[in-house]
Amino acid sequence: MSAAQAAGAGHSEDQEFAGELGGFVLARSAVDRVSERRGDTEWIASAWADTATRVLVLDNGHALVRFGDKEAELVLVPASEAPEGLNFLLGVDDSGVRYFGVMGPPGCLEQAAEEAPRQHSPEQVAAEPEAPAGEGPAQQAPEQQAPEQVAAEEDPAEQAPEQQTTAEQAAWLARAKPGLRVAGLREAAALLGDRDAGLFTHAVALANWHVSHTHCPRCGTPTQPIAAGHAQRCPADGSEHFPRIDPAAIMLVTDPDDRCLLARNRRWPQRRVSILAGFVEPGESAEQAVAREVEEETGIAVSRVRYVGSQPWPMPQSLMLGFRAEAAGGLDLKVDDEEIAEAHWYSRDELRAALAAREILLPPPVSIAHRLIESWYGEELPGVW
Ligand SMILES: [Zn+2]
């Protein structure tokens, strides 16, 4: 099963919760979040003491993952084996197992990988090399939002498979070989099952928020986690603060001939293209953001803006809202030259030919962009990413 097929495996189960497209890789789950338990300290303590409880340990947004040939699973540990750190309740599954996440100390996962049973060769234990910090694609998160300065989802810097050369592609494929290693959501999510994809996404989103929001915005006092890690309280003034999520609109625009608009951000490598995206601004609806971003970046006026589904993109804290839109007037593309380097209309045949000739590279299956392009294309996208 390919990564794309693995990603699609969740379609039927999650369809009732999904938008019309469904099946987004990071929009899956198999646990009940039991939000009503977050304030029940007795229940939390007994859940933590339960030997059946499982804990997902995070180190800088990464987790220990056991990769098989075509699938992967998180390495979850009993609470007694989890490192010290801020923890949060993630949920309860159908058989009653409780799940927590823990923000472990730096380097804790490399150590755990070393100590794990030797069912892998040593080189496969090495941590994923730290990717250079991307500057973000069409939009940038404010500086203080780091850990990763990537707001929308098409950041090529950490996407790894730029595949400029066959040597790079070979290196990427080698990384995906079976074994136990530390990995991020981008690398692992499409291979994980519904339970693990949901746990990982939930935990990374909370961890990113705690890392970047440590003090009260009213008075500057260090805040304390409450609600099983899902909120913070200021001990000085009692104010409560909740995880911040940045909505971003991402849109597939078509023309009257049903050609699809694809663009390359100035910061992306050569050949990488995707659909347009941008943050929703204060005082603006998601649909207004779609129209504004398309016009700003390509000069195209759109109509019939239609929501098709969403997925969290906690890198560090976005929620991607997927849309379709149609070019309403002229089709001449005038790129803004600040964010967009080039943009073109593609028919399905032209896209197939451009991919076959390796003239362009599409975003990987983990992205909502991939699914939106695939839904327009009508079948599984050919090629690599
Ligand atoms: Zn305060």
Of the two residues 148 and 43, the one the predictor is more confident about is: 43
Tell me how crowded residue 117 is: count the other CB atoms within 10 A of its CB.
6
Q: Distance (Å, rounded) from C-alpha 147 to C-alpha 61?
A: 9
Here the tokens at position 21 are 């497209």
Contacts for 290 with CB less than 8 Å, ≥ 6 apart: 249, 251, 302, 305, 323, 325
pTM, two decimals, is: 0.82
Kindly give the distance from the C-alpha atom of residue 242 to the centroid of ligand 1, in angstroms, as a whole number.
14
pLDDT attached to residue 17: 61
Ligand 1 center to residue 4 CA distance, Å?
46
CA neighbor of 156 nearest in space, from 272, 26, 311: 272
Q: Averaged over 286-292, what is the pLDDT? A: 98
Is 172's pLDDT higher than 50?
A: no
What would the two tokens of residue 135 be?
Answer: 């500057």
Confidence of residue 247 (pLDDT cuts 50, 70, 90): very high
C-alpha to C-alpha distance for 58 and 196, rounded to whole angstroms: 13
Distance from residue 230's CA to the centre of ligand 1 (Å): 17
Residues with a beta carbon under 5 angstroms from ion ligand 1: 216, 218-219, 221, 234, 236-237
In this structure, which amino acid lies at residue 139? Q
Q: How far is the CA of 348 from the centre of ligand 1 (A)?
A: 55
Q: Calculate how far, in angstroms, residue 240's C-alpha sits from the geometric centre of ligand 1.
A: 9
Asked if 225 and 86 count as a contact pair (C-beta separation under 8 A), the reply is yes
Contact 223, 246 (CB under 8 A): no
Residue 308 alpha carbon to ligand 1 centre in Å: 39
Residue % of the chain over a pLDDT of 90: 72
Give 280 Cα–ligand 1 centroid separation in angstroms. Answer: 28
Q: Which residue has the higher pLDDT, 9 or 201?
A: 201
Class of the CATH domain delimited by 246-377: alpha beta
Euclidean distance between CA atoms 99 and 229, whole angstroms: 13
- For the segment 131-169, what is each residue's pLDDT rounded down to a tens digit? 333 333 333 333 333 222 233 444 433 333 333 334 444
Domain regions of the chain by residue span = 31-128+151-163+172-212, 246-377
Tens-place pLDDT, residues 78-111: 999 999 999 999 999 999 999 999 999 999 998 7
Across 34-60, average pLDDT: 98
pLDDT on residue 1? 38
pLDDT over 90 (residue 171)? no
